[in-house]
């Protein structure tokens, strides 16, 4: 069953699996593993797998998964290299 994280919702240090879709929530220092991000903001998030289609990625680590669209504010790729604004994986 799909879990939708919507606007107005805030999550701190939580983990989300492949059944999750983010449609406007704010995630701070969470782990993302397999779901889809359509909108919202991920700050300091470890993105292990899944698809990033929209929203803002800021200051996290993009270990795996697919970057399809959205705003890359800053972050690190799977090698640990810093990628500045717009330089998404």
Which residues lie near other proteins (CB under 8 A)? 7-8, 10, 12, 24-26, 28, 40-41, 43, 56, 58, 61, 63, 73-74, 76, 78-82, 84-87
Residue number with CB closer to other proteins (24 or 34): 24
- What's the length of the chain? 89
Residue number with CB closer to other proteins (36 or 63): 63
Distance CA 47, CA 62 (A): 5
Token duo for residue 61: 């680590």
CB of 74 to other proteins, least distance (A): 6
Q: Which residues, at least 6 apart from 14, have a Cβ–Cβ distance to it below 8 Å?
A: 27, 30, 31
């Amino acid at each position: 069953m799909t879990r939708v994280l919507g606007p107005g919702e805030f999550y701190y240090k939580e983990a989300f699996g492949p059944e999750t879709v983010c449609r406007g929530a704010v995630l701070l220092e969470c782990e993302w593993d397999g779901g889809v991000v359509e909108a919202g903001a991920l700050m300091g998030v470890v993105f292990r797998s899944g698809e990033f289609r929209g929203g803002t990625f800021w200051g996290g680590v993009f270990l795996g998964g697919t970057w399809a669209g959205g705003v890359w504010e800053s972050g690190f790729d799977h090698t640990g290299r810093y990628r500045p604004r717009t330089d998404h994986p």
